[in-house]
Amino acid sequence: MERIGTVKSIRRYPIKSMAGEDLQEARVTFAGLLGDRIYAFVDENSIRPDFPWLTGRQAHELILFHPRWSGALPTDDSIPRMDQYAIDVRTPDGKEFRVGDENFTRYLEQRFGRSLHLRFSERSMTDARPVSILGLSALHALSQETGIELDPRRFRENFYAEWQDRRPFFEDELVGRELQIGDAVALRVVKRNGRCVMTTLDPDTAQASPQIFERIARAHDGCAGVYGAVLREGVVRMNDPIYLSS
């Protein structure tokens, strides 16, 4: 196998479209990172049955809600107990709620003017594929192209990679190839990551900068980063090597 890069950041998003968390290590399952996007709020009046979620696309301030695990989700157990999925959320105005509390659902309904219900799934409720990867060289290139110092959190990836080949968007060349990350995890890069207005939202303020998505759409076919399907489960740690399988 040929080493082609290093894992420089691992991020997980316990509640779909809310703020994420940085991890030192994560268990990667066939369904994605353990604990990633396991909760989501369904918009009961959504006009898209294939995408019923309340997300930052409709409710920008949703990204300012900060989930926090009530206990550590273990990486040595691929099937945690239900009580280990307990999450508290801090709202932008400083309130605290436990996910699953009907008062939290009512709070969100009132704030965003929508009828909602909570969904839980141990299988990550991602938009396309179980895991996502973005090269830091692509992030730096987009910062130069837009004239905005882009925070990696805008892109809501699971893994941020530093490639040995520093060309921007090197990951696009990996579509169709198999990678190994660390000692165990294997995945196939299956497609480029089509982007939406979420990339325009400042993760600290939710203020939109439309020129970011416009640049991605015009110059990069609307894509930044890639999606992967997991072929072999295991644990990925910060600074793990990334190999290209022969």
Whole-number pLDDT of residue 51: 87
Best CA proximity match to 118, nearest among 108, 131, 130: 108
Q: Are 18 and 65 in contact (CB under 8 A)?
A: yes
Per-residue pLDDT of the chain (246 residues; tens, 9 = 90+): 899 999 999 999 999 999 999 999 999 999 999 999 999 999 998 888 888 999 999 999 999 999 999 988 888 877 888 899 999 999 999 999 999 999 999 999 999 999 999 999 999 999 889 999 999 999 999 999 999 999 999 999 999 999 999 999 999 999 999 999 999 999 999 999 999 999 999 999 999 999 999 999 999 999 999 999 999 999 999 999 999 997
| Cα 44 to the center of its chain, rounded Å | 23
Whole-number pLDDT of residue 246: 78
Whole-number pLDDT of residue 187: 97
Structural domain count of the chain: 1
CA distance 13 to 15: 6
Tracing tokens 């970011």 back to the chain, one arrives at 212
Q: For residue 179, what are its two tokens?
A: 């990678």
Where is 26: in which H helix or E strand?
Answer: strand 25-29
Domain range enclosing 117: 2-244
Task: Give residues with Cβ within 8 angstroms of 49, minimum separation 6.
Answer: none
Q: For residue 159, what are its two tokens?
A: 């893994």
Instruction: Tell me the whole-structure pTM to 2 decimals.
Output: 0.94
Question: Other CB atoms closer than 10 Å to residue 31's CB: what's the count?
Answer: 20
Q: What angle do CA 62, 65, 162 make, to 5 degrees?
A: 90
Q: What is the CATH number of the domain that holds 57?
A: 2.40.33.20
